[in-house]
Structure 1
Amino acid sequence: MKKTIFLSLMLTIAALGTQAQKFKGLDKSPRDIAYYPDGFAHNRKDGESASVKVSYSRPFLNGREMFGKKEPYGKVWRAGADESTEIKFYKDATFGGKKVKAGTYSLFAIPGEKEWTVILSSDVDYWGAFKYKEANDVARVTVPVSPKPAAPIENFSIVFTGDTPQKAVMALGWETTIVEVPITF
Structure 2
Amino acid sequence: MKKTLSFFLFMLAAITIQAQVQAPQPSPHAKIWQTVGLTEVTVEYSRPSMRGRDIFGDLVPFDKKWRTGANENTIISFSDDVTIDGETLPKGTYAIYSVPGKNSWEIMFYKKTDNWGLPQAWDNAQLALSTKAQVTKMPMTMETFTIVIDELKNDSAVFNMLWEDTVVSFTFEVPTDAKTMKSIEAALNGPTARDYYAAADYYYTSGKDLEQALEWINKATEDNATFWMLRKKSLIEAKLGKKKDAIKTAKASLKAAKAAGNDDYVKMNEDSLKEWGAK
TM-score (normalised: structure 2): 0.53
Give the Cα–Cα distance (whole angstroms) in 1 for the partners of residues 73 and 115 of structure 2.
6
Give the Cα–Cα distance (whole angstroms) in 2 for the partners of residues 24 and 125 of structure 1.
25
- Identify if the C-alpha distance between structure 1 residues 31 and 165 changes in structure 2 by more than 3 Å, giving closer, same or farther: farther
Tell me how far 1:33 sits from its aligned partner.
Answer: 1.4
Tell me how far 1:166 sits from its aligned partner.
Answer: 1.8
5+ residue gaps, structure 2, are 1-12, 175-279
- Identify if the C-alpha distance between structure 1 residues 63 and 154 changes in structure 2 by more than 3 Å, giving closer, same or farther: same
5+ residue gaps, structure 1, are 1-14, 39-47
- Identify if the C-alpha distance between structure 1 residues 153 and 132 changes in structure 2 by more than 3 Å, giving closer, same or farther: farther
Q: Which amino acid aligns with 2:147?
A: I
Tell me how far 1:84 sits from its aligned partner.
Answer: 1.1
Q: Which amino acid aligns with 1:118?
A: I
Which of 146, 156, 176 is equivalent to 1:167?
A: 156
Give the Cα–Cα distance (whole angstroms) in 1 for the partners of residues 121 and 167 of structure 2.
23
Query: Using CA pairs below 8 Å that are at least 6 residues apart, which structure has the higher relative contact order?
Result: 1
Give the Cα–Cα distance (whole angstroms) in 2 for the partners of residues 111 and 156 of structure 1.
14
- Identify if the C-alpha distance between structure 1 residues 126 and 68 changes in structure 2 by more than 3 Å, giving closer, same or farther: same
The residue number in structure 2 matching 1:62 is 51
The residue number in structure 1 matching 2:30 is 32
- Identify if the C-alpha distance between structure 1 residues 95 and 20 changes in structure 2 by more than 3 Å, giving closer, same or farther: farther
1:51 alignment partner, SS class: strand
Which of 140, 165, 169 is equivalent to 1:176?
A: 165
1:154 alignment partner, SS class: strand
Matched, 1:125 2:123: no
Matched-pair contact (CA < 8 Å) for 2:134–2:170: no
Matched-pair contact (CA < 8 Å) for 2:158–2:170: yes
Matched-pair contact (CA < 8 Å) for 1:61–1:155: yes
Larger Rg: 2
The residue number in structure 1 matching 2:63 is 74
Give the Cα–Cα distance (whole angstroms) in 2 for the partners of residues 51 and 165 of structure 1.
12
Matched-pair contact (CA < 8 Å) for 2:39–2:80: no
- Identify if the C-alpha distance between structure 1 residues 55 and 131 changes in structure 2 by more than 3 Å, giving closer, same or farther: same
Matched, 1:110 2:108: no
Question: Alignment identity in percent?
Answer: 30
Give the Cα–Cα distance (whole angstroms) in 2 for the partners of residues 22 and 49 of structure 1.
43
- Identify if the C-alpha distance between structure 1 residues 119 and 69 changes in structure 2 by more than 3 Å, giving closer, same or farther: same
Q: Which amino acid aligns with 2:153?
A: T
1:164 alignment partner, SS class: coil
Q: What whole-Å deviation, never above 9, does each CA across 1:44-95 have from its counterpart, x for those lacking one? A: xxxx865211100000111111111111101111110011101111111012
Instruction: List structure 1 runs of 4+ shifted beyond 4 angstroms.
Output: 18-21
Tell me how far 1:34 sits from its aligned partner.
Answer: 2.2
Q: Which amino acid aligns with 1:157?
A: T
Give the Cα–Cα distance (whole angstroms) in 1 for the partners of residues 147 and 121 of structure 2.
21
1:141-152 equivalences under 5 Å are 141-146=131-136, 148-152=137-141
Which structure: greater strand fraction?
1
Give the Cα–Cα distance (whole angstroms) in 2 for the partners of residues 52 and 73 of structure 1.
28
Deviates more, 1:93-102 or 1:171-180: 93-102
Q: What whole-Å deviation, never above 9, does each CA across 1:147-181 have from its counterpart, x for those lacking one? A: x2121010101000133232100001100111111
Q: What whole-Å deviation, never above 9, does each CA across 1:88-132 have from its counterpart, x for those lacking one? A: 111110124321111001001100011100110011111011425
Root mean square deviation of aligned Cα = 2.1
Number of matched residues? Answer: 159
Deviates more, 1:91-100 or 1:136-145: 91-100
Matched-pair contact (CA < 8 Å) for 2:152–2:158: no
